[in-house]
Copies of this chain bind each other. A is one copy, B any other.
Amino acid sequence: MKKASLKSIAAELGVSVSTVSKALRDSPEISQETREKIQAFARYLDYSPNKMALGLRNQKTMVIGIIVPEIVHHFFSTVISGLEEKANEYNYNVMIGLSNDQLKKEKELIEAFTNGSVDGLIISLSKESMQKKNFAHIEKLINQGFPLVFFDRAPEELPVNKVLVNDEEGGYKATSYLLDKGVQYPAILSTPLHISVGKEREKGFLRAVKEQAVDEYKIIHINEQFDIVEQIADLFNQKRIPDGIFAVNELYASIALKTAQKKGINIPRDLKIIGFTNGIISKTTTPTLTTIDQHGKQMGQTAMNILLNCITNPEENSSASIYIIPTQIIPREST
Interface residues of A (CB under 8 A from B): 1, 3, 46, 48-53, 55-56, 61, 63, 70-74, 77-78, 80-81, 84-85, 88, 93-98, 111-113, 115-117, 140, 143-145, 250-251, 254, 257-258, 261, 279-281, 284-286
Contact = CB atoms under 8 A, between A and B. Distances in A.
A93 B93 contact: no
Contacts of A72: 74, 77-78, 81
Given A50-B56, A286-B286, 14 more contacts: A3-B144, A50-B116, A52-B52, A52-B56, A71-B71, A73-B77, A84-B96, A93-B95, A93-B97, A94-B96, A96-B96, A258-B284, A280-B281, A285-B285
Contacts of A81: 70-72, 98
A24 to B, nearest CB: 14
- The 9 lowest CB-CB distance pairs between A and B, nearest first, are A50-B116, A254-B284, A52-B55, A51-B116, A51-B117, A286-B286, A72-B77, A52-B56, A71-B77
A251 to B, nearest CB: 8
Number of copies: 2
Nearest to A63: B95
Contact of A284 (B63, B98, B144, B281): B281
Contacts of A261: 286
A50 B115 contact: yes
Contacts of A49: 115
A329 to B, nearest CB: 20
A111 B1 contact: no
A93 B113 contact: yes
A267 to B, nearest CB: 10
Contacts of A52: 52, 55-56, 61, 116-117
Count chain B CB atoms within 10 A of each CB in A46, A71, A72 and give the residue with the most: A72
A13 B286 CA distance: 70
A80 B50 CA distance: 26
A51 B115 contact: yes
Contacts of A94: 95-96
A79 to B, nearest CB: 10
Contacts of A46: 140
A188 B241 CA distance: 42
A105 to B, nearest CB: 8
Contacts of A50: 56, 115-116
B77 A115 contact: no
A146 to B, nearest CB: 9
Contacts of A284: 250-251, 254, 258, 281, 284-285
B96 A95 contact: yes
